[in-house]
Structure 1
Amino acid sequence: MKRDGATTSLWQHNLPDYQPQNSTLPTDVVDVLIVGGGITGITTALLLQQGGLRCVVAEAQTLCFGTTGGTTSHINSFFDTDYHTIRQDFGVEGAQTVARATRQAIELFAHHVKTYNIDCEFSERDAYVYAQTDEQVSQLNKMMEASLEAGAYVAYADSIPIPTDFQKAIVYPRNAQIHPTKYVFALAKEFEALGGVILQNCTVGHVGGDELMLEAETSMGVIKAKYLVYATHIPPGGINLLHFRAHPYRSYAMAVTLNNESQYPESLAYNMYDPYYYYRTQETDGRRYLIVGGEDHKTAHEENTEACFDRLEAHVRRHYDVKEIAFKWSSQYFEPSDGLAYIGLNPGTHDNILVAAGYSGNGITYSHIAAITLSQMILQKQSEYATLFNPRRVKPIAGFTEFVKENVDVVKEFFSKRFSQEEIAVLADLAPGEAKVVKFEGESIALYKDEAGKLHAVDPICPHAKCAVGWNRAEKSWDCPCHGSRFSPDGQLLTGPARKGLEPIDLAKLMES
């Protein structure tokens, strides 16, 4: 199975690309066009198709090509933005709504697995959050009190499932874990069995029309739909308000085997540092793996991304007797300015265009909250979650400091890193597999030398908002620091919001001129 990076995740292993049974472009009007074939898009499509609507999923690559194929796949009743912070910024009612939404999301996973008899290693697990400093203990106590007031199931814990010291811990019972790609592929089959259409390698471009009828230009032809849902982490295309309210980050994960079977945790565990580390066990294809994640950073802000894996491995080896690093991978998520995801009406467009964005590190849980919310908004014209997660919300207190901090950085990226002072002579200095941005006679060039020694040159300016891309050594991709678009070494688009790749540069002609 292909994914948007050079590393291989556990969820790709031994799994071929999904093969749709019905991939014919519809010629008549459909009810809903869902853009994006990850866990949010497929789950939303299934719920809408079950509701009697005709739906089409358009995926620019193949199913689970993006973050769904690179998640750590834990399903939580709490978020990275803890209940204390949610209560401060969105009130007690907002925190209570989050608690209800997470419970309903977990229940929907369980319902699908049972109803369709899906072999995806789904299991309910307790989730522990533990404090290791006095400051963290104070924060944990506030989290505990706010969680109880929100109606979340939580209790203090005397022990934790991982071999490390701690001062205090709480446990959220009946959280869960799952093999995400097996799950999504099974839902996709059920969606198709109900008459749904999945179009892979179908890029959606300009969307025109009005609130009665939309016309989406795609690489396979025009699709007419009454509604459109962007399930793409961030809406693609021109500058959107959400591009300044959801900020791209990279996260790193490893699946390792252990010499000591007793060290595999039976529950989920999270420390309280920023960025935090998290741990769980996954058994798949007859093997057990310890999955550990962390080392998050803003996209394209870490020059040596391989070092992130090195630090993560060192952390794992300090606590565990590691037998083998079986898999290591990284993925991208978007951090919302005010701490909660944006699910509902897309800002600045017609009211029949909806979006799900800004999941932070809780994408698997949010995927089903989004599917529930969006399907209710389309089928029933309302949802109890629509107000809280409204993408058009304005919260001058919640997230304002973060909004300013993140977007000062975006503005800086517009005007910096455009031009390196190195000369074209560095061409000879690039090792196979290495890349960098250089300047030649006023021309900015992003260069990559492949393993065969061939040079690939592209314009390093992202076509979305004209920021300069940076090289991701671990995943061998050009990443945009402003809004998270990512490109292959030769400039092909991997993930949006850009709608096209980086422009190729003919080095021979450049040298001649």
Structure 2
Amino acid sequence: MDLKSGTPYWAIRNGLMHAFPPLRQDLRCEVAVIGGGISGALIADELAAHGIETALFEQRDIGWGSTAASTALLQYEIDTPLLELCRRYGQDAAVAAYRACADAIPALQSVAHGLRDVDFARCDSLYYASKPRHCNALRDEAALRLRHGLKLRWLDAGELAAGYGLRAPGAILSACAARVDPYRMTLRLLARLQRRGIAVHDRTRLELVRAGSRSVELRSQDGLRVRAGHAVIAAGYAGQHWIRQRLARNRSSYAFVTDPLDEAMLDGLRDTLVWETARPYLYLRSTGDGRLLVGGADDAVDRPARRDRRVPDKAKKLVEAVAHRFPRLALQPVFAWGGTFAETADGLPWFGAHPQHGPRVLFAMAYGGNGITYSMIGAGLLRAAIERRAHPLAQLFSFERSR
């Protein structure tokens, strides 16, 4: 899949940081992770850290798929409000999902702490009402989250204008969020695993040959064989090609990044992620070197050539949307891009085995706006499945809920 258009900032900032070799001989391991983006890296790191012999394979260069186009807003907040999740799956399951996402932020911080220069920083998250009529539902959302121990406070229009230069009728402010350079974090994680003796191979495309009761056999484009106790398919949006069932809608999202801005212009946005109740939503966050990264303007385009052509106009629309909400900001895109993302009906991911392939083939489909947060949760969930242990979110995040 051609997953990105234009000039993603991480690709320009980082280039090709580290070379990994393609597979050159047959290999055996306990777990073969297929996918060398941020999801595969987090999963491989979790498995290897707990003594599971792991090997990772990527058909492109490492990190060069969706990860290079990710805007990497790390939030506990799911695209689907807690109120709606409670209606769909019951209060216990919905609250468990939100709490797991909240726990994933410090877990990601712990992973980033052991790496060098990945631009990880804790932030606030500001979720504002796009229209006055959205305020009542947003206040109800805030009350429900508070009732279940999720810390936040309500800001009115005056506080939003004074603290952020934001023109909006009200917002939820939460302290549980973060930012990261996803491409750099992926490369740093996998380079560290490689130094520790874990096999990491890029430019290696694997296909499933056999999934038996005790093992999985995969074959490369060169005819090399990989035999493993389990295979984890962490191939991002391309993972849908492994399953006949339609799981999500592929869409396109667009983003741009500015030059570094003056501190006075950034104001409260320096340490705050911002997004809104409208769908599709506008969002923005800063980078470690003082730039603003702005994204949104999602559409149903799933053809790379059409997405490529839309990048300049989408960047212009995003500039206009920011100017409407933040009258003091006059932004100029420096790099602009678009990328494919998959959207599930309920905003939740899928982790675990699918009936089509049996229990030895596990999927990591961290779809939606919380991809990196979901991947951190999924790493532990998949390890539990491999170790034959229960996990509190195994059912909610399984393919069973989609039936």
TM-score, with length taken from structure 1:
0.71
Shift of 1:233: 2.2
Number of residues paired by the alignment?
Answer: 387
| Alignment-mate amino acid for residue 318 of structure 2 | L
Distance 1:178 1:90, change over 3 A: same
Aligned to 1:460: none
Aligned-residue offset at 1:232: 1.4
Unaligned stretches of 5+ residues in structure 1: 396-513
* AA matched with 2:310: T
Give the Å deviation of 1:280: 1.0
Does residue 370 of structure 1 match 2:378? yes
Structure 1 residues 209, 164: CA separation in 2 closer, same or farther (over 3 Å shift)?
A: closer
Distance verdict in 2 for CA 1:54–1:124, change over 3 Å: same
Partner of residue 320, structure 2: 314
Q: Distance in 2 between matches of 1:271 and 1:103?
A: 19
Secondary structure of the structure 2 residue equivalent to 1:337: coil
Q: Residues 109 and 118 of structure 1: is their aligned pair in 2 closer, same or farther, counting only changes over 3 Å?
A: farther
Q: 2: distance between equivalents of 1:379 and 1:20?
A: 32
Q: CA deviation at 1:339?
A: 2.7
Return the offset for 1:372. Answer: 1.9
Q: Which residue of 2 aligns with 1:222?
A: 225
Equivalent residues of 1:99, 1:150 under 8 A apart? no
- What pairs with 1:355-394 in structure 2 (closer than 5 Å)? 355-357=363-365, 359-394=367-402
Superposed, 1:209-358 pairs within 5 Å as 209-220=211-222, 221-234=224-237, 235-237=239-241, 239-241=243-245, 244-257=246-259, 260-264=262-266, 265-266=269-270, 267-284=272-289, 288-300=290-302, 305-306=310-311, 307-318=313-324, 319=326, 320-322=328-330, 324-357=332-365
Amino acid at match of 1:392: E
In structure 2, relative to structure 1, the CA distance for the partners of 1:374 and 1:299 (3 Å cut) is: farther
Q: Is the 8 A contact 2:354 2:363 kept in 1?
A: yes
Secondary structure of 1:325's counterpart equals: coil
The offset of 1:41, in angstroms, is 0.3
Contact residue 258 and residue 331 of structure 2 kept, 8 A: yes
Partner deviation per Cα, 1:360-404 (whole Å, 9 max, x = no partner): 122121121121211222135332221110123246xxxxxxxxx
Q: Contact 1:69–1:181 at 8 Å: present in 2 too?
A: yes
Any residues of structure 2 matched to 1:15-34 within 5 Å, and which?
A: 15-20=14-19, 24-25=23-24, 27-34=26-33
Deviation at 1:250, TM superposition (A): 0.8
Amino acid at match of 1:227: H
Partner of 1:180: 182
- Structure 2: distance between partners of 1:141 and 1:293: 25
Q: Distance in 2 between matches of 1:192 and 1:258?
A: 34
For residue 181 of structure 1, report the CA deviation from its aligned partner. 1.3
Distance of 1:357 and 1:258 partners within structure 2: 34
- Secondary structure, aligned partner of 1:125: strand
Deviation at 1:260, TM superposition (A): 4.9
Aligned residue identity for 2:281? Y
- Structure-2-length-normalised TM-score: 0.89
Question: How far 1:131 sits from its partner (Å)?
Answer: 1.2
The answer to whether the Cα contact below 8 Å between 2:243 and 2:356 also exists between their aligned partners in 1 is: no
**Following superposition of structure 1 onto structure 2, how do residues 106-255 of structure 1 map, counting pairs within 5 Å?**
106-114=105-113, 116-158=114-156, 159-160=159-160, 162-220=164-222, 221-234=224-237, 235-237=239-241, 239-241=243-245, 244-255=246-257
**Aligned Cα RMSD in Å?**
2.3
- Change beyond 3 A, Cα 1:98–1:238: closer
Give the Cα–Cα distance (whole angstroms) in 2 for the partners of residues 154 and 136 of structure 1: 18
CA contact (8 A) 1:205 1:217 kept: yes
Are the equivalent residues in 2 in contact too, given 1:30–1:55 (CA < 8 A)?
yes
1:7 deviates by 1.5
- Partners of 2:22 and 2:261 lie apart in 1 by 46
Code of the residue aligned with 1:212 in structure 2: it is R
Does the 8 A contact of 1:25 with 1:223 survive in 2?
Answer: no
Distance (Å, rounded) in 1 between the aligned partners of 2:384 and 2:310:
40
In our comparison, the structure showing a higher alpha carbon Rg is: 1
Give the letter aligned to residue 255 of structure 2.
A
- Could you say which structure has the greater relative contact order, defined with CA pairs below 8 angstroms and 6 or more residues apart? 2
Contact (CA 8 Å) 1:24, 1:197: kept in 2 or not?
no
Between the aligned residues of both structures, percent identity stands at: 22
Which structure: greater helix fraction?
A: 2
Matches of 1:270 and 1:198 in 2, distance apart? Answer: 36
Match of 1:11 in 2: 10
Give the aligned partner of residue 407 of structure 1.
none
Q: CA deviation at 1:183?
A: 1.2
- Measure how far apart 1:358 and its partner are: 5.2
Task: Please state how far the C-alpha of 1:238 moved relative to its aligned partner.
Answer: 5.5
What is the CA–CA distance in structure 1 between the aligned matches of 2:354 and 2:382, rounded to whole Å?
A: 11
- Give me the whole-angstrom Cα distance separating, in 2, the residues matched to 1:119 and 1:225: 33
Q: Where in structure 2 are there 5+ consecutive unaligned residues? A: none
